């Protein structure tokens, strides 16, 4: 487990559900400071790939290593100190305050009988502030809107302080301002703290702006991996989404518009 | 913010409540005994009638009631987490149904108390194994699948119970009905249930923060460092054993396992580190108080305590439901 091992490494990965294969023999590495976007149509297998990368589901073939070790060798506890996973938002069954909900992110840092200390509370409060929820501490999570829940899930993830962020549609339900601020937050984590970030996105323009590399998942087992500039071409994206696109450039940023 | 200090304060208050309820149970009844005589019978050598009543009748019954109430509340709290369903109770997975079938069979064949208890426990274990086996079949047991399997097994047991009630001779019917409604009057040795309660609580407490994570969903718990499969199997086993022990001792006493975790959750929040022990203390106290009422309201006649817990439980629970509806749940 040398420090030169990439944060995330997939070797000859084959992922699928039942008879359907989403990607075949995928090789992928993600190093500290890198940001990777995963793009594809609905049902193409983006979330399934991400959950395999997160160790939640076994691949059909191949292996996933984080910091050079497999999830099985690390165990759930040590894995939780390295990789964090943001699920697509689901409802909560029980009432709880926003602060307590975000506090569960500290779990891997505490021992079996431990209670959260003031230091943990400080980390959690900073995480809530980072997602603009600092005035929501005592609110019941069941009363939050979809976008607020999404930001709370991000705060929980930040409280976990992982090195590797695996994000399943991190900007779902968010308004424009928060879409950009959340993506900037993760870009900042990669730039300033050496985190590795892999995220499922639906907006190629945001992948262009916030990611270095892109994986295109075509849904039939075929995948393409490369730099954002190379992968986010009109031809490739039109083929990926099976819909013709235009590209418009403005102030050095790009926008893709359906014809 | 949850702190250990706050948890200990709340638990100390609830422990006080538990002692009060037991003191009440020792004093009140067809013969009322003043507090100083109760103390004398417990710690001194009071040898008169009141000493006998306290030591050999009321104390075992109060302790058994406390243990059963605690077990049911704990099992309810655990199953609500396991199924991520606030409406789950210890009986939702058919364990009490299995125990009911076992107990009624034993009564029908004229077994004694030990036979009835043993048979009830075997019935509970059988139901637990059937539900686990069926729900676990292909290795992917979702909450919905477990819940549905349990509900179906419970329904099957209910039919078997109804069948036995309809063919039972009249002289056995009363005993059967009392068993089904929940009854503590046969409790003369509380040591086994108290032992099970202690064991179950000691096994659950170290995992309570992991249970907090389980309420957030299995995948979420897994990525935050919980061995989910192992934990869920353990929770199922522990909750089932707790229910089986309580039902064997006292029959299917309803509503404790449903409303106590809810009341505690409303009062102190949904942190299992506090919720589990607090539910034990509150559930135990509530059942002791209900049982004291059951044997003193129409003394010397006794009411089945399950009827009283239900009479208290139904309005409280309906109140909680409408309250939840108003806050937008």
Average pLDDT, chain B: 87
Say if strands A83-86 and A69-70 run parallel, antiparallel, or are unpaired.
Answer: unpaired
Question: Cβ(A190)–Cβ(A38) under 8 Å?
Answer: no
Per CB-CB distance under 8 Å, the chain B contacts of A157 are: none
Per CB-CB distance under 8 Å, the chain A contacts of B325 are: none
Per CB-CB distance under 8 Å, the chain A contacts of B85 are: 93
Query: Which pLDDT belongs to residue B327?
Result: 53
B7 lies in some domain: no
Asked if B265's CB is within 8 angstroms of A95's CB, the reply is: yes
B187 lies in some domain: yes
Three-class secondary structure of residue A229 per DSSP: helix
Average pLDDT, chain A: 93
Helix extents (H) in chain B: 4-27, 35-43, 49-52, 59-82, 95-108, 113-136, 143-167, 170-181, 191-204, 208-214, 218-223, 228-250, 256-268, 272-296, 305-326
Query: Which pLDDT belongs to residue A2?
Result: 46
B325 lies in some domain: no
Residue A139 binned pLDDT confidence (cut-offs 50, 70, 90): very high
Complex-level ipTM: 0.88
Per CB-CB distance under 8 Å, the chain B contacts of A93 are: 84-86, 215
Question: Six-digit token pair at A199?
Answer: 């995220």
Say if strands A35-40 and A213-217 run parallel, antiparallel, or are unpaired.
Answer: parallel
Domain membership of residue B152 as a residue range? 14-318
Please tell me the distance in Å from A234's CA to the nearest CA on chain B: 36
Question: Cβ(A190)–Cβ(A33) under 8 Å?
Answer: yes
Please tell me the distance in Å from A119's CA to the nearest CA on chain B: 12
**By the CB < 8 Å criterion, does A180 face chain B?**
no
Asked if B328's CB is within 8 angstroms of A142's CB, the reply is: yes
Query: Which pLDDT belongs to residue B325?
Result: 59
Say if strands A196-200 and A164-168 run parallel, antiparallel, or are unpaired.
Answer: parallel
**By the CB < 8 Å criterion, does A100 face chain B?**
yes
* pLDDT for B39 beyond 80: yes
B286 lies in some domain: yes
* pLDDT for A205 beyond 80: yes
Asked if B226's CB is within 8 angstroms of A94's CB, the reply is: no
As a whole number of angstroms, the distance between CA A154 and CA A198 comes to: 14
Q: Which of B209, B264, B277, B323 to mutate to test the interface with A (most CBs of A within 10 A)?
A: B209
Asked if A116's CB is within 8 angstroms of B86's CB, the reply is: no
Please state the domain count of chain B: 1
Q: What is the mean pLDDT of residues A171-180?
A: 95
Domain A8-258 top-level CATH class: alpha beta
Stretch 70-89 of chain A: residues touching chain B, C-beta under 8 Å: 76-77, 79-81, 83-85, 87
Domain borders along chain A are 8-258
pTM of the model: 0.90
As a whole number of angstroms, the distance between CA B57 and CA B310 comes to: 25
B324 lies in some domain: no
Give the model confidence (pLDDT) of A72-102 as tens digits: 999 999 999 999 999 987 778 788 899 999 9
Give the model confidence (pLDDT) of B139-196 as tens digits: 556 778 888 889 999 999 999 999 999 999 988 898 888 888 888 877 778 999 999 9
Question: Cβ(B276)–Cβ(B207) under 8 Å?
Answer: no
Query: Which pLDDT belongs to residue B287?
Result: 95
Least confident of A145-149, B91-95, B229-233: B91-95
Asked if B210's CB is within 8 angstroms of A107's CB, the reply is: yes
Interface of chain B toward chain A, CB-CB under 8 angstroms:
1-4, 80, 84-86, 206, 209-210, 212-213, 215-217, 219-220, 222-227, 265, 269-271, 273, 327-329
Q: Among all residues of chain B, which has the CA nearest to that of A112?
A: B206
B323 lies in some domain: no
Q: What is the mean pLDDT of residues B15-39?
A: 90
Burial class (CB in 10 A: 0-12, 13-18, 19+), B264: buried
Per CB-CB distance under 8 Å, the chain B contacts of A140 are: 327
Q: Among all residues of chain A, which has the CA nearest to that of B226?
A: A76
């Amino acid at each position: 487990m040398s420090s030169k091992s990439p944060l995330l490494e997939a070797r000859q990965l084959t992922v699928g559900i039942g008879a359907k294969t989403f990607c075949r023999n995928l090789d992928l590495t993600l190093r500290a400071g890198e940001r990777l976007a995963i793009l594809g149509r609905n049902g193409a297998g983006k979330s399934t790939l991400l959950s395999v990368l997160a160790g939640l589901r076994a691949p059909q073939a191949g292996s996933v290593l984080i910091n050079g070790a497999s999830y099985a060798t690390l165990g759930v506890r040590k894995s939780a100190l390295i990789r964090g996973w943001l699920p697509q938002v689901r409802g909560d069954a029980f009432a709880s305050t926003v602060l307590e909900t975000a506090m569960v992110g500290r779990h891997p840092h505490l021992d079996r009988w431990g209670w959260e200390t003031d230091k943990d509370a400080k980390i959690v409060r900073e995480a809530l502030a980072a997602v603009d929820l600092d005035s929501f501490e005592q609110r019941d999570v069941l009363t939050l809107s979809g976008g607020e829940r999404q930001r709370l899930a991000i705060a929980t993830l930040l409280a976990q302080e992982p090195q590797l962020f695996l994000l399943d549609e991190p900007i779902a339900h968010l308004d424009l301002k928060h879409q950009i601020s959340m993506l900037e937050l993760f870009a900042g984590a990669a730039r300033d703290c050496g985190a590795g970030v892999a995220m499922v996105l639906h907006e190629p323009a945001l992948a262009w702006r916030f990611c270095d590399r892109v994986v295109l998942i075509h849904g039939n087992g075929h995948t393409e991996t490369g730099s954002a500039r190379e992968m986010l071409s009109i031809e490739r994206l039109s083929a990926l989404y099976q819909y013709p696109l235009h590209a418009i450039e403005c102030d050095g940023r790009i926008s893709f518009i359906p014809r | 913010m949850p702190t250990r200090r706050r948890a200990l304060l709340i638990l100390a208050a609830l422990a006080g409540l538990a002692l009060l309820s037991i003191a009440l149970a020792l004093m009140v009844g067809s013969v009322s005994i003043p507090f100083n005589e109760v103390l004398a019978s417990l710690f001194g050598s009071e040898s008169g009638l009141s000493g006998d009543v306290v030591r050999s009748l009321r104390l075992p019954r109060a302790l058994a009631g406390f243990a059963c109430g605690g077990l049911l509340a704990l099992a309810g709290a655990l199953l609500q987490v396991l199924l991520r369903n606030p409406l789950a109770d210890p009986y939702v997975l058919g364990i009490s149904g299995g125990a009911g079938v076992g107990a009624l069979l034993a009564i029908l064949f004229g077994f004694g108390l030990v036979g009835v208890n043993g048979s009830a426990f075997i019935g509970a274990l059988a139901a637990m194994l059937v539900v686990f086996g069926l729900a676990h079949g292909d290795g992917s047991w979702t909450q919905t699948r477990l819940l549905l399997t349990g509900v179906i097994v419970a329904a099957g047991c209910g039919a078997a119970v109804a069948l036995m009630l309809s063919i039972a001779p009249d002289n056995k019917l009363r005993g059967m009905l009392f068993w089904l409604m929940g009854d503590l009057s046969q409790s003369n040795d509380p040591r086994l249930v108290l032992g099970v309660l202690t064991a179950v609580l000691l096994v659950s407490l170290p995992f309570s923060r992991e249970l907090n994570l389980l309420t957030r969903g299995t995948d979420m718990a897994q990525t935050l460092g919980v061995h989910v499969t192992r934990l869920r199997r353990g929770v199922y086993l522990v909750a089932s054993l707790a229910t089986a022990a309580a039902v064997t001792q006292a029959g299917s006493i309803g509503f404790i396992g449903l409303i106590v975790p809810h009341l505690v959750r409303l009062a102190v929040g949904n942190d299992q580190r506090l919720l589990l022990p607090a539910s034990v203390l509150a559930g135990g106290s509530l059942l002791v108080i209900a049982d004291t009422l059951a044997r003193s309201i129409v003394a010397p006649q006794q009411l089945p305590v399950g009827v009283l817990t239900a009479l208290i439980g139904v309005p409280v629970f309906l109140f909680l439901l409408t309250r939840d509806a108003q806050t937008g749940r």
